[in-house]
Structure 1
């Protein structure tokens, strides 16, 4: 019996080793290819496979799995390697922001696409797969112009619910008819940091997970708005990527009633596109003479 066990042990040791990944990749489905590309750090091919998977309109459980794969890929370079697609000469920058705004008794959601361009922009389109309109908003704003000839345009989408994870298509059109478009996959990560009200005059920054060292630090913005003749006018703002404050510098603010908004933004890339997920808390805020 002992002799048989020794012979069996020797046979096992001399047999070729078949790894779990070799067995897994014997099939050639888009999902197995997605895993294979991620393991090989071929992020651009992985992203292409993810696009193909989302186009197949996967089940809810598979959507969750695809979301986890995309989030895991951010550990490599925060999404910069997902696409090598370059901007045309007239397009200088594209950023896409998803926001959740929490105010007393009401939550609101919006998406915003901001474009920097040396050409006049006539349209910005963001649609979900397949050709699904995000909202009915059609206003395209010229945010600012500068002396270098590059202008910033913005299109804001007010939406009823949180913009879901999944596949979207972004398209930008210039006045001379040139177009640039790209696939965009929104992830649904657990945010590493958030803000909440701690008291009437203070907010608190909470950390939930470890920060991704390949991504920028979460950015905290605080802004104070005065409401005059139906318009909100920003009278103070501050932006911080470390040493986050938890209150306003009241010495710099005149007494009055304002709206205070505090946000925490997490940023990553999809190739050249900056993708930002932002949580905003807001409420009315009184500054008295005594303060």
Structure 2
């Protein structure tokens, strides 16, 4: 942790000051609790920006694993929150989804932006191995920085209830089509060395398959490709999806920000 001792983000003994002070003292989880309390005080724009900067600083310690010391319950061993911007050739779609694995029957997943703006309140789709997912599509505006309350209800289990603090989404679209055969990936801000390097997720779909089950998918980290590799699918017309995934943690909860581009392609017309 190397925040400048002369940082002058906050003044006075308020929630913002205390959260910053706890971070400087090396108590990341206590700082995070202070951030939650500060978001509950209806911060103004300057305070919101300061809280967003403070969260990024806290994540730089260990990619967010120390933000919360609360463990996931035994019936919910895996949980992921993901924001996604999906751009095809003529429109942009904003999406938020919550997925994970549970060995109990989940009845509802609810996400509310503090204090009372419901983002998701749905029964999940349950798949093999206890995998579940809920999502909201065609959001009118991005899921912005702020405080969110996540409640997951399961039959016979005590409800899982957590405060989630999200950072401001990137305003820069880093991935875009170069032409029908290639895409470009622009440099972003300096990467957080505590977090995994970005991952490129490529998937190919049958245009006639309404279930949108990928025929092929591959995830690559490290040196990211900018063209589709040779794959084993019949000649034809497909839907190609290429997503750039950046990840961090809030305790044991994985938080992903994804920028995806999609388009129809003729294969192997590459």
Is the shorter-chain TM-score for this pair beyond 0.5, marking a shared fold?
A: yes
- Within the candidate set 50, 58, 63, 2:43 is matched to 58
How many angstroms does 1:253 deviate by?
Answer: 2.8
Q: Which runs of 5+ in 2 are unaligned?
A: none
Structure 2 Cα separation of the partners of residues 141 and 260 of structure 1: 24
Alpha-carbon distance between aligned partners in 2 of 1:229 and 1:20, rounded to the nearest angstrom:
58
Inter-partner Cα distance in structure 2 for 1:139 and 1:44: 31
Which structure is larger by alpha-carbon Rg, 1 or 2? Answer: 1
Say which is worse superposed, 237-246 or 216-225, in terms of deviation: 237-246
Say whether the 8 Å CA contact 1:227–1:233 is kept in structure 2: no
Q: Could you tell me whether the CA contact under 8 Å between 2:111 and 2:148 is conserved in 1?
A: yes
TM-score, with structure 1 as normaliser = 0.84
C-alpha change, 1:267 and 1:240, in structure 2 (3 Å) is same
How many Å separate the matches in 1 of 2:9 and 2:166? 27
Give 1:102's match in structure 2, choosing from 87, 94, 97.
87
Residue of structure 1 in register with 2:71 after alignment: 86
Q: In the alignment, does 2:127 pair up with 1:143?
A: yes
1:227 aligns with 2:207: yes
In 2, Cα distance between the equivalents of 1:279 and 1:285?
19
Which one of 106, 112, 116 corresponds to residue 101 of structure 2? 116
1:207 aligns with 2:187: yes
Q: Which runs of 5+ in 1 are unaligned?
A: 1-18, 146-150
CA contact (8 A) 1:103 1:282 kept: yes
Q: Which residue of 1 aligns with 2:242?
A: 262
Q: Is the 8 A contact 2:144 2:169 kept in 1?
A: no
**Aligned with 1:245: secondary structure?**
coil
Please give the alpha-carbon distance, in whole angstroms, between the structure 2 residues aligned to 1:103 and 1:26. Answer: 45
Is residue 2:141 matched to residue 1:157? no
The size of the alignment, in residue pairs, is 265
Q: RMSD across aligned C-alpha pairs, in angstroms?
A: 2.3
Shift, 1:226, TM fit = 0.7
| Structure 1 pair 177–100 and aligned structure 2 pair: CA distance change class (3 A) | same
Distance 1:89 1:208, change over 3 A: closer
Evaluate the alpha carbon distance shift between residue 197 and residue 229 of structure 1 in structure 2; reply closer, same or farther with a 3 A threshold: closer
1:229 positional shift: 5.7
Larger helix share, 1 or 2: 1
> CA shift at 1:255, angstroms?
1.6
SS at match of 1:254: coil
Match of 1:8 in 2: none
Could you give the per-residue CA deviations for residues 7-47 of structure 1, whole angstroms, max 9, x where no partner exists?
xxxxxxxxxxxx968x9999421111111111112111111
Deviates more, 1:187-196 or 1:34-43: 187-196
